[in-house]
């Protein structure tokens, strides 16, 4: 299912493209596409295909290893770009010390420090943004906690920000 915020990229397979894997074909065909801000990696194209974002003559195509059929129009649906800026979340913090320049936190085991693709929220960074508000502005006015070091998810310990 597509939304009004999705972008559609149309690519017609030339006669010499028949038999090539669809993910490889699209990665090459879209390298210099003016509708894209940056080229899509083959991994990203594969994920879009597997999530139902590719249509072959208006029929969904979810197999990235399927082969291209010459002279067929393919429609790749690109969902809207998500804001990568972490958002504040009300997550309890064990604060050992805090002043205008520094916050010292006892990080519990099980808490991820930085947002990542597998853990975009529920992190120490999200908690710090909520707790500290605009006092986290850093270089270029970007709100981000200047965590001095990192600890693995399952490691507890004292952290400075």
User: pTM of the predicted model, to two decimals?
Assistant: 0.53
pLDDT tens across 42-69, in order? Answer: 998 999 999 999 999 889 999 999 999 9
Higher-confidence residue of 36 and 44: namely: 44
Tokens 């295909």 map to which residue?
49
pLDDT tens across 89-130, in order? Answer: 999 999 999 988 889 999 999 999 988 888 889 999 899 989
Shared domain check, 61 and 105:
no
Shared domain check, 112 and 57:
no
Shared domain check, 99 and 38:
no
Residue 2 in any domain: the answer is no
User: What token pair was written down for 31?
Assistant: 């390298």
Shared domain check, 101 and 74:
no
What percent of the chain is predicted at pLDDT more than 70? 87
C-alpha 68/C-alpha 21 separation (Å) is: 6
Active site residues: 152
Its domain, for residue 15, covers 7-78
CATH number of the domain enclosing 30? 3.10.290.10
């Amino acid at each position: 299912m597509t939304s009004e915020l999705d972008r559609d990229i149309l690519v017609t397979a030339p006669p010499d493209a028949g038999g090539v894997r669809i993910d490889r074909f699209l990665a090459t065909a879209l390298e210099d596409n003016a509708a894209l801000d940056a080229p899509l990696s083959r991994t990203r194209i594969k994920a879009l295909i597997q999530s139902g974002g590719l249509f072959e003559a208006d029929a969904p195509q979810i197999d990235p290893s399927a082969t291209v059929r010459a002279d067929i129009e393919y429609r790749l649906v690109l969902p809207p770009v998500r804001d990568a800026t972490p958002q504040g979340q009300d997550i309890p913090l064990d604060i050992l010390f805090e002043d205008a320049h520094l916050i010292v936190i006892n990080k519990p085991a099980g808490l991820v420090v930085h947002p990542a693709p597998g853990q975009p929220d529920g992190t120490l960074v999200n908690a710090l943004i909520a707790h500290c508000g605009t006092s986290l502005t850093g270089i270029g006015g970007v709100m981000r906690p200047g965590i001095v070091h990192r600890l693995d998810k399952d490691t507890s310990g004292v952290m400075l920000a």
